[in-house]
Amino acid sequence: MTPGGAGLALSWADTVPDVTAAPLPTARVVLDSAGRAPVLPAAREAYLAALDEGWADPRRLHSEGRRARALLDGAREAVAALVGARTEEVDLAPSHTAALHGAVRTVARGRRRVGGTVVASAVERMAVLDAADLAASESGGGTRVTVPVDRSGQVDLAAFAEAVAAPGVSLAALQHANGEVGTRQPVAEAHAAARAAGVPLLVDAGSSFGHVPVGAAWDVLTLDPGDVGAPPGVAVLVTRAGVRRSPVGPADEDRWFPGGVAVPAALAAAVALQHADARVRAGDDDRAALVDRVRSRVAGIRLVDVAGPAAHAERLPHVLTFSCLYVDGEAVVTALDRAGFAVASGSACTSATETPSHVLAAMGLLSQGNVRLSLPRGTTAADVDRFCAVLPGVVADLRRAAGAGDL
């Protein structure tokens, strides 16, 4: 406080808690990049440059506002080129969750005269399933039809085709690949079935784009730039011409996502997506072999269940989930964090409610003691070997502490 109590003089460091009392191990290995990958240097540079050139409100008519608008439109144009769409079909959302919510609710509302039913696979993100429930309730008579999956996590195509062909379906949703277990879905076949029924298909490619080719089998598409190294604050929603949508909130100049997004974040998102797409096209990715390496070592631990398909063509190259019986997933994550490894737990949709993973439950798999890996670009064989060397001891110690040490 300044003399006389006139005010406060704070730096940014004064506003955050002190975490230096318990320093992290110096050799950290990050194996959790889902939705929040390390920021790419090129995306960081684009963000910082746009802070100087695109700080103004892009809705203003002065020169600074027009410059910001040009940068924002350029970001949308760049994203459109990546997915084979027109610039006017690309909307920028403040988060991937907002993009999914907006896609489901605005399409369902736009097609409410057709009916209020939303078809979705059992392993969609909770953002999609919750939005489908809300959209169905808002229709005044619709419902959410959930299509089952097999033990690998792949949707039952016959059941999906039957569901979308039923009367009153406003929208169908099928993720391109599952971000928890890595399973890729037959989106081309599902899109053909939906098109035959006259139903638009929402494809969530938030876990896929930048890791595998996404293709053109979609009517509505979402992307998550944060998953490939963009700073947080922008996601992508693309809607093909001809798909009817209707806003669900108060009128705003940005009618799909009122208030718009920050121009620097939009430019950084476009740059990150461009870099990720280029790496996919170049085939520059050895993470599938690293996942195979972890998969084989994990399978050697007693009472551990590895989820998802093993074949490279059927899964994302960088994702792996496994479950350890007689241990808690959050406890494994915490113990590994202390040992220098950043991983996630697939044992809960939200750790606050401790709800078991709906994805693993839908697959009929063990939902106890889950650990999810999503390897960022740059992960090395030495990184995964260190992880595989530490993991058995962590699991054994936790089982011992839980009274199951004789396993």
What is the pLDDT, as a whole number, of residue 402?
82
Given a cut of 80, whether residue 279 has pLDDT beyond it is yes
Q: Which is more confidently placed, 11 or 362?
A: 362
Q: In terms of DSSP bridges, do strands 117-121 and 90-93 run parallel, antiparallel, or are they unpaired?
A: unpaired
What is the pLDDT, as a whole number, of residue 38?
94
Least confident of 41-50, 187-196, 326-335: 326-335
The answer to whether the 42-279 and 285-402 domains have the same CATH topology is no
User: How many Å apart are CA 74 and CA 133, to the nearest integer?
Assistant: 35
* Exposed / middle / buried, residue 121 (Cβ in 10 Å: 0-12, 13-18, 19+): buried
What is the pLDDT, as a whole number, of residue 142?
87
Angle at Cα 404 formed by Cα 399 and Cα 406, nearest 5°?
105
What is the pLDDT, as a whole number, of residue 140?
81
**Mean pLDDT, residues 68-86:** 96
Given a cut of 90, whether residue 406 has pLDDT beyond it is no
**Residue written as tokens 């390897």?**
375
Please write the tens of the pLDDT for every residue from 20-44: 444 555 589 999 999 999 999 999 9
- The chain-wide mean pLDDT, for the chain, equals 90
Under the banding of pLDDT at 50, 70 and 90, the label for residue 355 is low
236 three-state secondary structure: strand
Given a cut of 80, whether residue 2 has pLDDT beyond it is no
**Residue written as tokens 């144009």?**
77
Q: Which of 134, 349, 361, 388 is catalytic?
A: 349
CA nearest 72: which of 279, 233, 246, 245? 233
Tell me which amino acid residue 151 is: R
CA nearest 344: which of 368, 370, 382, 310? 370
CA nearest 230: which of 350, 87, 123, 78? 78
Given a cut of 60, whether residue 354 has pLDDT beyond it is no
CATH code of domain 285-402: 3.90.1150.10
Given a cut of 80, whether residue 212 has pLDDT beyond it is yes
Give whole-number Cα distances, 150 to 194, 242, 308, in Å: 20, 33, 10
Q: Establish whether 388 is a catalytic residue.
A: no
User: How many Å apart are CA 58 and CA 60, to the nearest integer?
Assistant: 6
Give whole-number Cα distances, 275 to 54, 214, 272, in Å: 21, 15, 5
Under the banding of pLDDT at 50, 70 and 90, the label for residue 353 is very low
What is the pLDDT, as a whole number, of residue 255?
86
What is the pLDDT, as a whole number, of residue 383?
96
Sign of CA dihedral 257, 263, 267, 269: negative
User: How many Å apart are CA 278 and CA 285, to the nearest integer?
Assistant: 11
The domain limits of the chain are: 42-279, 285-402
Contact status, residue 153 vs residue 308, Cβ threshold 8 Å: yes
User: How many Å apart are CA 299 and CA 308, to the nearest integer?
Assistant: 13
CA nearest 117: which of 195, 171, 43? 171
Least confident of 50-54, 74-78, 130-134, 202-206: 50-54
CA nearest 75: which of 288, 272, 293? 272
42-279, which class in CATH? alpha beta
Contact status, residue 189 vs residue 160, Cβ threshold 8 Å: no
* Exposed / middle / buried, residue 303 (Cβ in 10 Å: 0-12, 13-18, 19+): middle
Q: Which is more confidently placed, 252 or 198?
A: 198
Radius of gyration of the chain measured on its C-alpha atoms: 23
User: How many Å apart are CA 372 and CA 336, to the nearest integer?
Assistant: 12
Contact status, residue 132 vs residue 144, Cβ threshold 8 Å: yes
